[in-house]
Structure 1
Amino acid sequence: MLKNKVILIVLFQIICATVYSQAAPVRMGVVGLTHTHVHWIFNSDFHPEFDIVGIVEPNKDLAQRYADQYAFSMDLVYNTLEEMIAAKQPTAVTAFGTIYDHLKIVEVCAPAGIHVMVEKPLAVSLQHAKKMKQLADKHGIHLLTNYETTWYPTNHKAFELIQQDTLIGDIRKIIVRDGHRGPKKIGVDDEFLVWLTDPVLNGGGAITDFGCYGANLLTWIMEGKKPNSVTAVTAQQQAANNPKVDDEAIIILTYDNAVAILQASWNWPIGRKDMEIYGLKGAIYADNRHDLRVRIARGYDEFTEEQMTLAERESPYHDPFVYFAAVINGTVSADPYDLSSLENNMVVMEILDAAIKSARLNKAVKLK
C-alpha cells in the first residue's frame, strides 16, 4: 500500500513538472496586413507555441477581408501599434507592412521590451538598420528577420555538407538565384504592389526584394565574414510595370578565396529560389526547398551524382513563428550569424547598401 502511494506521489510530481515546464504561448501581435506574406502567420496559428492577440491595420476594408478569410474577430484589429500594445500587451510582434515601417515598429516596441520579427530585408536602408540595432541592443529585445529560404531543408543540408571538408573541398564559387516574373505579373494584391515597387517604402526593386536572400545565405555560409568588395549592375526591363525601381540585379561579392554571384530578378519566367556551391572537388545544388544534388568530379567533365529529396525540418526549425517563440522562451539559442539573427542581417544591409551604391556609381565598392 505504501509502495503504491509512493509511486502515485512520484507520478504526480513528474506530471506537475512537465506541465509547469511547458512555456505559456507567446502573446504575439501582427503589425500590418499589406505584405501578403502575412498569410504565413495566419496559416501557422494552429501551433500552440503562440497566440495572435492583436492586429494593427488602419485599412478596415483590408482587415475585414482577412477576418473573413481566417475567421478572426474585428475586435482584434487596432488602428495603431500603440493602441494594440496598450490593450493587448503582447510579448512580441511580427511586421507585415512596408519595409520603411520596420524602424518605427522597433522604435515603439523596443522601449516596451517587446520582441520583433520583420519580413526580409531587415530595413529599408543601412541607416535605418543601425538605428534598429541600437534600440534592440539598448533594450535587450530579440530582433529577427524572416526569409522563406531560412526554412528550406535543402539549404541546411547544403550547409551541413560543406562542413565536411573532404566532400566537395574548399569553396571557390557560390551562385544564388531568386525571383519571379515581377510583382505585377504574378498578380500581387494592390496594397502590396503600391509599396513593393516604391524606392522609398521598399528601398529599391529586385535588388532589395531578392538580393537580400543571397546576401543572407552567403553571410551564414561564410560564418559572418563580410565580402571584400561588392559590384552590382541593375536594369529596368519592365518600365511600364516597375517605373520607379530596378527589376533586374546582378551582385558580385569577392572574398579572400571565393566569389559569389547573386542574381535577383523580377524577370525570371519561372519563380525560383536556388543555390549552387562549387568546391575544388565537386558541387552542391540546392534546387528548391526539398531537392538537392551533390556532384563529385571524375576526370575532365564526368561526375558521380547523388540526389536527395528532403523532408521538412523538425520543430521549431520548420516555422518562423514557432522558432520566434522558442527564441523568446529560451528553448533555442541562435548562433550569432544564423539566418534569422540580427548580426547576420546587419551584414546583409551592408551588402545591399554597397550594391545600390555600386550600381549607381558603376564601380566596385569595398566594405570596411
Structure 2
Amino acid sequence: MKKIVFTLSLLVIVSCSVFAQTDPVKIGVIGLTHTHVHWVFNSNQFEDFEIVGIVEPNKELAQRYADQYQFSMDMVYESLDELIKIKSPEAVTAFGTIYDHLNIVETCAPKGIHVMVEKPLAVSLEHAMKMKTIANKHQIHLLTNYETTWYPTNHKIYNLIKQDTLIGNLRKVIVRDGHKGPKKIGVDKEFLEWLTDPILNGGGAIMDFGCYGANLLTWITNGQRPNSVTAITMQQQPQNNPKVDDEAIILLTYDKMVAVIQASWNWPIGRKDMEVYGLKGVLYADNRNDMRIRIGLGYDDYKEERMTLEELKSPNNDPFVYFASVIKGKTKVAKYDLSSLDNNILVMEILDAAIRSAKRNQTIFLKH
C-alpha cells in the first residue's frame, strides 16, 4: 500500500510540474505611449504568455488601443502598484518613457517580478547601474528588447564570424540605423512628446538609434569594452527636434578593430543594416532577411553570394515568447546575448562616453 501511495504522489507531482511549465506566463504591459507596444498585441503566440493587465493613466490613449485590439478597459489600471496588487503578474514589459525604466525595476524587482524594457536599457549610465544592482539583488531577469535582436541576418553573420575562416579576423564594423525623424514619420503625439525630450529619452538620435550599434558590437565582440569612444552630434532639424540631437556618428576603437555607429533621424529612407569587414571579405546585413557575402579576389574584384533568410525559430523570433521562455527556465541568456543585462550595461557605458565626447569635443578613453 505504501508503494502505491508513493507512486500516486509522484504522478501528481510530475503532472503539476508539467502543467506549471506549459501554463502561460502572466505579463503586465506598462505604458502605451511607446508605439513598439503594438508588437506585444500583434504577437500570434499567446499560448506562451498572457497579458493580464495594462498600466496607462491616459484613458483616451488606452481606449484607442482597446478599440484596435478588442480588449476591455477593465484591463487598464492607473498605476503599476494597482496592477501588481490586483493581478500579481510574473513579469512586465515597459512601453513608456525610457526614464520610467528605473522606477519600474525599483517597484517590480523586490516582488520578484521580471522586467523587459524597450531599448535602450536606461536614460543614463547612472540609472542603468542602479537597475543592475536592484535586479541582481532580487535575482530577477532584466532584459532589453531591440528590433534587430530578432533579425535572421544578424544571427547568420554572428555565426559566420565565429567560424573565423570565411572573411578572416575582424577589422571594421559599420552599423547604420534610423529614419527621417519621429515627426516626419508621423509617430503618435504621445510618443513624440517624450521621444524628443532630453530628460525622458536621455537624448535624441544618439540614444534612440546609437544603442542598436553598441548592442550589436558588444554581442559580436563577446563583451569587449572599446578602448576609446569619439562622437559628434548635430541638430539638422531644429524645427522638429529643438531639444535634442538628431544626427550622431560614434567611432569606437578596439585592440584590433574599429567600428562606426551612424545613428540618424535624417536618413531619407529608414534603415537598420550592418557591414562586417574581415581580412578576406565582407558580410552585409542589408535588412532583416537579406544579406550578402563578398570575398576579395584581388585589388577590387570579388565573388558575391546573396541570400534571403527565413525567420528564426521560436522562441528566438518573438521577444515576448523569448521572455516567457527565459522566465520558465527553458532558455538561458548568455552573458553578452543581445537581450542580456551585461550587454546593455556596456551599451550604456558606450552611449555615456559618446554623449560626453560630443559635448566636450574630445575622445573618451574607457577604463579596462
Give the TM interval when normalised to the shorter protein.
over 0.9
Contact 2:45 2:321 in 1 (8 A): no
In 1, distance between residues paired with 2:59 and 2:42? 21
Aligned to 2:179: 180
Aligned to 1:56: 55
Aligned to 1:108: 107
- Tell me the secondary structure at the aligned position of residue 185 of structure 1: helix
Change (3 A) 1:175 1:84: same
**How many Å apart are 1:22 and its aligned residue?**
3.9
**How many Å apart are 1:24 and its aligned residue?**
1.0
Aligned to 1:197: 196
Aligned to 1:4: none
Instruction: Map 1:228-307 onto structure 2 (within 5 A).
Output: 228-307=227-306
Contact 1:45 1:52 in 2 (8 A): no
**How many Å apart are 1:328 and its aligned residue?**
0.3
Q: Which amino acid aligns with 1:20?
A: F
Aligned to 1:75: 74
Q: Which amino acid aligns with 1:285?
A: Y
In 2, distance between residues paired with 1:229 and 1:93? 35
- Tell me the secondary structure at the aligned position of residue 276 of structure 1: strand
Aligned to 2:351: 352
Q: Which amino acid aligns with 1:44?
A: S
Aligned to 1:87: 86
In 2, distance between residues paired with 1:45 and 1:286? 26
- Tell me the secondary structure at the aligned position of residue 224 of structure 1: coil
- Tell me the secondary structure at the aligned position of residue 166 of structure 1: coil
Q: Which moved more, 1:46-55 or 1:218-227?
A: 46-55
**How many Å apart are 1:62 and its aligned residue?**
0.4
Aligned to 2:32: 33
**How many Å apart are 1:164 and its aligned residue?**
1.6
Change (3 A) 1:92 1:171: same
Aligned to 1:42: 41
Aligned to 2:328: 329
Contact 1:179 1:271 in 2 (8 A): yes
In 2, distance between residues paired with 1:37 and 1:165? 35
User: Alpha-carbon deviations, 1:81-135, whole Å to 9, x = none?
Assistant: 0000000000000000000000000010000100000000000000000000000
Contact 2:93 2:117 in 1 (8 A): yes
**How many Å apart are 1:165 and its aligned residue?**
1.5
Q: Which amino acid aligns with 2:191?
A: F
Contact 1:33 1:96 in 2 (8 A): yes
In 2, distance between residues paired with 1:162 and 1:192? 37
Identical positions, percent = 72
Q: Which amino acid aligns with 1:88?
A: K
In 2, distance between residues paired with 1:240 and 1:253? 31
Let me know the Cα RMSD of the aligned residues: 1.6
**How many Å apart are 1:335 and its aligned residue?**
0.6
Query: Is it true that 1:340 corresponds to 2:321 in the alignment?
Result: no
Aligned to 2:3: none
Contact 2:229 2:357 in 1 (8 A): yes
**How many Å apart are 1:61 and its aligned residue?**
0.5
In 1, distance between residues paired with 2:345 and 2:20? 34
- Tell me the secondary structure at the aligned position of residue 288 of structure 1: coil
Q: Which amino acid aligns with 2:195?
A: L
In 2, distance between residues paired with 1:128 and 1:207? 17
User: Alpha-carbon deviations, 1:65-85, whole Å to 9, x = none?
Assistant: 000000001011000000000
In 2, distance between residues paired with 1:23 and 1:92? 16
Contact 1:45 1:51 in 2 (8 A): no
**How many Å apart are 1:18 and its aligned residue?**
9.8
In 2, distance between residues paired with 1:128 and 1:335? 23
Contact 2:21 2:328 in 1 (8 A): no
Change (3 A) 1:17 1:309: farther
Q: Which amino acid aligns with 1:219?
A: T
**How many Å apart are 1:23 and its aligned residue?**
2.5
In 2, distance between residues paired with 1:327 and 1:113? 14
**How many Å apart are 1:16 and its aligned residue?**
5.7
Aligned to 2:144: 145
In 2, distance between residues paired with 1:55 and 1:161? 41
- Tell me the secondary structure at the aligned position of residue 273 of structure 2: strand
User: Alpha-carbon deviations, 1:40-66, whole Å to 9, x = none?
Assistant: 000015420000001000000000000
Query: Is it true that 1:310 corresponds to 2:309 in the alignment?
Result: yes
Aligned to 1:3: none
Q: Which amino acid aligns with 1:296?
A: I
Aligned to 1:7: none
In 2, distance between residues paired with 1:111 and 1:20? 27
- Tell me the secondary structure at the aligned position of residue 226 of structure 1: coil
**How many Å apart are 1:163 and its aligned residue?**
1.1
Q: Which runs of 5+ in 2 are unaligned?
A: 1-10
User: Alpha-carbon deviations, 1:126-180, whole Å to 9, x = none?
Assistant: 0000000000000000000000000000000000001121110000000000000
User: Alpha-carbon deviations, 1:309-334, whole Å to 9, x = none?
Assistant: 00000000000000000000000101
In 2, distance between residues paired with 1:133 and 1:48? 30
Query: TM-score under structure 1 normalisation?
Result: 0.95
Contact 2:154 2:285 in 1 (8 A): yes
**How many Å apart are 1:20 and its aligned residue?**
3.5
In 1, distance between residues paired with 2:329 and 2:45? 21
